[in-house]
Amino acid sequence: MLHIIIKPNLYQDSVSLMLMSNKLSGIEGVNQVSVMMGTPANIDIMKNTGMYTPELDKAAPSDLCIAIDAENGEIVSTVLEEVEQFLKNQATASASNKVEKVRTWDRAVKAMPDANLAVISIPGKYAAEEAMSALENGLHVFMFSDNVAIEDEKRIKDFAKEKGLIVMGPDCGTAVISGVPIAFSNVVNKGNIGVVGASGTGIQEVITLIDKMGAGISHALGTGGRDLSEEIEATTMLDGIRALANNADTEVVVVISKPPAPKVRGQVVALLANIGKPVVAIFMGEKPESNLPTIKFAHTLEEAAIMAVELAKGSKLEVAPEAALPADLGLAAGQTKIRGLYTGGTLAYEAATIMKESLHADKDNKHDEGYLLQYDGHEVIDLGDDMYTQGRPHPMIDGTTRFQFIEKAAKQSDVAVILFDLVLGYGSHEDMATPLSKVVKRAIAEAANEGRRLYFVGSICGTKNDPQGYDTQLKLMQEAGAIITDSNFSAVRTALHIIGHEVQVGSRELPVQEVDLPSVTVAAPSEELKQLLDSKPRVINIGLSSFADNLETEGSRVVQFDWRPVAGGNEKLRKILSILNKM
């Protein structure tokens, strides 16, 4: 039976509510619990998941809506007690937190007059407005929020450029500024390699590999996934490159992107060729055949990291050989397929690309939504895709969705390898290896009972200084029976080797080709952008309070903007107030 409880005017952030929903759904006697704010989009999610009654239509966007599918009324009371306890804990944690909290922009700026960065992680429909307010107050913007219209992204970035400011995002997952990890990011050594990337886990993979190889990062700037589109024309990417070109701490520049628009790619390469510093560029999906005099092109994220470290150190690295596998892999007849179950979208994209090349799949391989590869029984799935995160936490935060996919794949008799990633760092689950290792161990045992040898092959994207404890996470996964390699590329190679496909690692010494590129004057970045990179960022955090906690832990000064939807989320009234404020 479905029970609906609406608590008026009680705003909570979406990630906290998703995690609470998952926890409550695990109570015995509960079929499912959904706790969301009463926005129209959330009500639609409840409709699509069978957690709706017409009573929810009365809810305002600022109301807390609790839908409980439970066997009896006593269970409902238990769930509500847990909800109340959660809210009390949130209030207690908030009261004990040292980060100053404000409710308006005026108070935020007054609390930190020298703030230079706004970190925004609120629902996308409101994010553009808050970004404009941040820019009007002279702050650079890191926009974690997604579902922002591309027209708004263009408007925000054009306005930022006029003011000498940079906008990282929307849908920007990762940055590191002067050693401070922002949002979903890792704790990496300081060094002389600067990174600009249009992908979150792509940046994370490269900077953590650089860290493991004994080098370090000056800065890593995210751009958002659409920045290199024809509409946005690499506004953030180009400004980021100029900033690193003029940054005294940066001696090598790395650029990471999924395939950009051809015209935009040309603009980026032309600028990189003229910055006067050695460059490594990876446009994922491309298999480079030559380099330019000052630009080395990489094929994989691991290769990009190796090249960058070699340039930074001025010497060749000795890359450790792959771990040896037993001669007899013990696979049953018919076990020939790989299932890639990824939480990192760029890592999934890299896996799919390498597998297509090795399996000789059509480069334009058609696949269902949420999949990056479906070919001859092989699959690679990006579990962070929107279709898997509607009303659910991202799989880096909560492993439930991936655990379900693992259990399903492990039962399929043709599956030989389950390929996966484990992403550490701020923003991610505090100890993902504990529940994941249990699922892996159980799947291996169940396959063995059916006469099959099931391999789990993965890599850990993280460093020794990440809050989860790299060595602990590694040990848990290895004890569960998983093969953990040094990089995502190495994991994919190992998975393909198990099913009889070898991936050859080509020479990194490609021929240098002289190409007539337009001569580009590398204009100095604005004084505001130079200053952003000169010291630890001073942040006004708008949205997820956990981001503020992490920033403070890493030595940044932070003010928490305790954001609530304007006008209680009433869209018509919000627009009227917005117009009045501009008059």
CATH number of the domain bearing residue 289? 3.40.50.261
Q: Is 481 a residue whose pLDDT tops 60?
A: yes
Q: pLDDT exceeding 90 applies to what percent of the chain?
A: 74
Q: What's residue 86's pLDDT? A: 85
Residues 126, 87: one domain? no
pLDDT digits over 276-304, tens only?
Answer: 999 999 999 899 999 999 999 999 999 99
Q: What is the CATH number of the domain that holds 90?
A: 3.30.70
Checking if the pLDDT of 106 tops 90, the result is yes
* 222 within 8 A of 197, measured Cβ to Cβ: yes
Name the residue with tokens 């790299």.
470
244 plus 266 within the same structural domain: yes
Its pTM stands at 0.91
Last residue in a domain, options 39, 73, 96: 96
Residue at a domain's end among 70, 96, 122: 96
Question: Phi then psi for 341, rounded to 5 degrees?
Answer: -120, 95
Q: What is the mean pLDDT of the chain?
A: 92
CA angle, residues 318, 320, 326, in degrees to nearest 5: 155
- Local structure of residue 185 (DSSP, 8 states): B
Phi, psi dihedral angles at 334 (to 5 degrees) = 90, -10
* Mean pLDDT value across residues 530-545: 96
What's the rounded mean pLDDT across residues 265-273? Answer: 95
Q: Is residue 37 part of a domain?
A: yes
Angle at the Cα of 265 from the Cα atoms of 259 and 266, rounded to 5 degrees:
155
- Together in a domain, 286 and 208: yes
Weakest-pLDDT range from 49-53, 106-110, 231-235, 350-354:
49-53
Both 281 and 225 in one domain: the answer is: yes
pLDDT band at 393 (very low <50, low <70, confident <90, very high): confident
Q: Whose structure tokens read 């952003």?
A: 532
**Rounded Cα distance, 282 and 256, in Å:** 5
Residues 84 and 184 both lie in one domain: no
- Is the model's pLDDT at 92 over the cut of 90? no
Band (578; pLDDT cuts 50, 70, 90): low
Query: Does residue 231 have a pLDDT over 90?
Result: yes
Co-location of 181 and 142 in the same domain: yes
Q: In terms of DSSP bridges, do strands 371-375 and 378-382 run parallel, antiparallel, or are they unpaired?
A: antiparallel
**pLDDT the model gives residue 506:** 66
Question: In terms of domains, do 431 and 368 share one?
Answer: yes
Judge whether 46 lies within some domain.
Answer: yes
**Rg of the chain over all Cα atoms, to the nearest angstrom:** 24
The percentage of the chain sitting over the pLDDT mark of 70, rounded to a whole number, equals 96
**In-domain check, residue 512:** no
CA 145, 151, 153, 159 torsion: positive or negative?
A: negative
Task: Report yes or no on 312 lying in a domain.
Answer: yes
Residue 332: inside a domain: no
Mean pLDDT of the region 332-340: 96
Residues 6+ apart with CB under 8 A from 410: 418, 443, 446, 447, 454
Q: What is the mean pLDDT of residues 442-468?
A: 97
**C-alpha distances in angstroms, 236 versus 131, 280, 473?**
15, 18, 35
Instruction: Quote the number of domains for the chain.
Output: 3
Q: What domain range includes position 60?
A: 2-96
Residue 496 has pLDDT above 50, yes or no: yes
Of 9-18, 339-348, 479-488, the one with minimum mean pLDDT is 9-18
pLDDT of residue 569: 54
- 379 and 455 share a domain? yes
Same domain (yes/no): 217, 358: no
Q: Are residues 158 and 243 in the same domain?
A: yes
Please say if the pLDDT value at position 440 is more than 70.
Answer: yes
Q: Indicate whether 583 pLDDT > 90.
A: no
Statement to judge: residues 89 and 115 lie in one domain: no
Burial of 580 (0-12, 13-18, 19+ CB in 10 A): exposed
Q: Is residue 576 part of a domain?
A: no
Shortest CA distance to 268 belongs to which of 196, 194, 350, 161? Answer: 196
504 occurs within a structural domain: no
- Per residue in 136-191, pLDDT (tens digit) is 999 999 999 988 999 999 999 999 999 999 999 999 999 999 999 999 999 999 99
Tell whether 247 and 297 lie within a shared domain. yes
Interatomic CA distance for residues 494 and 302, integer angstroms: 14
- 522 CB-near residues (< 8 Å, 6+ apart): 242, 245, 246, 271, 274, 275, 276
The answer to whether residue 582 is domain-embedded is no
Residue 577 has pLDDT above 50, yes or no: no
